[in-house]
Amino acid sequence: MNTQVLPVNEESIALAAKLLQQGELVALPTETVYGIAADARNGEAVKKIFEAKGRPQDNPLIVHICGMEMLHGIVSEVPERAKKLAAAFWPGPLTMVMPRGPEVSEVTCAGLDTVGVRMPSHPVVQAVIKASGVAFAAPSANLSGKPSPTNAQDTFVDMDGRLPLILDGGESAVGVESTVVAVTGEHPMILRPGYVTKEQMEAVLGEEVLVNHAILEKLKDGEVARSPGMKYKHYAPKADVTILKGSFDAYRDYITAHAGDGVWALCFDGEEAQLPVPAISYGKEGDGISEAHNLFTVLRELDRKGAKTVYARCPLSDGVSMAVYNRLIRAAAFRVVEV
């Protein structure tokens, strides 16, 4: 299959809309990461997403809408909490898991009786949904297991020959995928951290928002994941990544003792020149927003540089940094060394 990469304009939006209506795939920018869209009601179309990504069939997809009226048929009920969170954070990088409606294909939800829905703020996604009238399922546009792409070039590297169209809308602002929160049950629960934080949701809801324990630590053997995506290998570059937890001096000393061919440092801004191996920064220390924005792009950059072993500085784990820590610890296959 020939994959076209087109700049965003009226014609390319119309082409994207037509492809979606015909049950084809389109890769497109969102404010979080690039996604691969297919009509969420059309099981045959959604199957193509799983094939293009090599995604395990039991991992459900998020449905994207552009107005509250589109929830009709997608969910069977809009819980009170969801209304409050939607008023505060939609359109934006928040996915809410709600009771599934009759119109969503089984394939989209991987057979679950719930569905994750989000209303993205990116003007290109909104334009494509409006032009097509299609609520679409869209996972991140990476091959399963790799870091999510945050620009059209990285999307092309993974999806060339696998789908007909990539819309190039520049770089994604947020850089990590949406926050996923389950809004039913006794307490709301974060299933995947993102740009919208626990603290922000608690302020809106006036109640505690729980954080699923599998977000910051490895699932135990045989444990059932609350969100199927938790159990798979994720965000991994080709190199072996290890997170070094401790001061900058201890980090530098550890790397000095372990320097060698193909060893790279994944550090914070301004530290590069003080390290004994080639180094690349993933943002400002303590600034989750800047680290989230850069992380996936930098992990892919390390692949291009041929890095074999990467020692990463440890981010914080609250606020937006919770999303950064959650992605980096998976990229590192949970290897964290205290230095």
What are the tokens at 104? 């969503």
Q: Which range binds ligand TXA by CB under 6 A, 75-83, 109-117, 267-275, 313-321?
A: 109-117
46 sits near ligand TXA (criterion: CB under 6 A): no
Site for ligand TXA in 23-42 (CB under 6 A): 30, 32-33, 35
Closest CA to 274 of 301, 256, 299: 256
Select 54 or 286, whichever has its Cβ closest to ligand TXA.
54
Question: Which of these segments, 110-118, 200-208, 286-294, 329-337, binds ligand TXA (CB under 6 A)?
Answer: 110-118
Nearer to ligand TXA, 143 or 339 (CB): 143
The residue from 15, 46, 70, 191 that contacts ligand TXA (CB under 6 A) is: 191
Task: Answer whether 305's CB lies under 8 Å from 264's CB.
Answer: yes
Cα–Cα nearest to 61, from 72, 78, 47, 71: 47
177 lies in the binding site for ligand TXA (CB under 6 A): yes
Cα 251 to Cα 324: distance, rounded to the nearest angstrom:
19
Q: Which residues pair with 62 in a beta bridge?
A: 116
Cβ-based nearer residue to ligand TXA, 33 or 159: 33
Q: Which of 52, 74, 127, 180 binds ligand TXA (CB under 6 A)?
A: 180
Total residues belonging to the chain? 339
Interacting positions 136-165 with ligand TXA (CB under 6 A): 138-140
State which residue has the least CB distance to Mg ion.
Answer: 140
The contacts of residue 283 (CB under 8 Å, 6+ apart) are 268, 269, 290, 291, 292, 293, 294, 295
Minimum CB distance to ligand TXA, residue 281 (Å): 24
Figure out which of the listed residues 26, 38, 115, 124 binds ligand TXA, where binding follows CB under 6 A.
115
Which residue is nearest to ligand TXA, using beta carbons? 229
Total number of residues that touch ligand TXA (CB under 6 A):
29
N-terminal to C-terminal alpha carbon distance within the chain: 49
Q: How is residue 111 written in tokens? A: 């057979």
Residue 278 and residue 11: Cα distance in Å, rounded? Answer: 44
Asked whether position 14 contacts ligand TXA by CB under 6 A, the answer is: no
User: Among residues 95 and 281, whose Cβ is nearest to ligand TXA?
Assistant: 95
Pull the structure tokens for residue 19: 């492809």
CA-to-CA distance for 160 and 181, rounded, in angstroms? 32
Binding at 193: pick from Mg ion, ligand TXA, none (beta carbon under 5-8 Å per type): none
326 interacts with, out of ligand TXA, Mg ion, none, CB within 5 to 8 A per kind: none
Contact predicate 154/166, CB 8 Å: no
Contact 257, 275 (CB under 8 A): no
**Which residue in 91, 116, 175, 319 binds ligand TXA (CB under 6 A)?**
116
| Stretch (H or E) spanning 312 | strand 309-313
What the block records as the tokens of 257 is 């003792």
Binding mask 240-279 for ligand TXA (x = CB under 6 A): ----------------------------------------
**Rounded to whole angstroms, how far apart are CA atoms 302 and 306?**
6
Draw the binding track, 208-247, toward ligand TXA (x: CB under 6 A; -: no contact).
-------------------xxx------------------
Q: Which residues contact 304 (CB under 8 A, 6 or more apart)?
A: none
Cβ-count burial 221-236 (b if 16+ within 10 Å, e if not)? eeeeebbbbbbeebbb
| Chain positions contacting ligand TXA, by CB under 6 A | 30, 32-33, 35, 59-62, 93, 95, 97, 109, 112, 114-116, 118, 120, 138-140, 177-178, 180, 191-192, 227-229
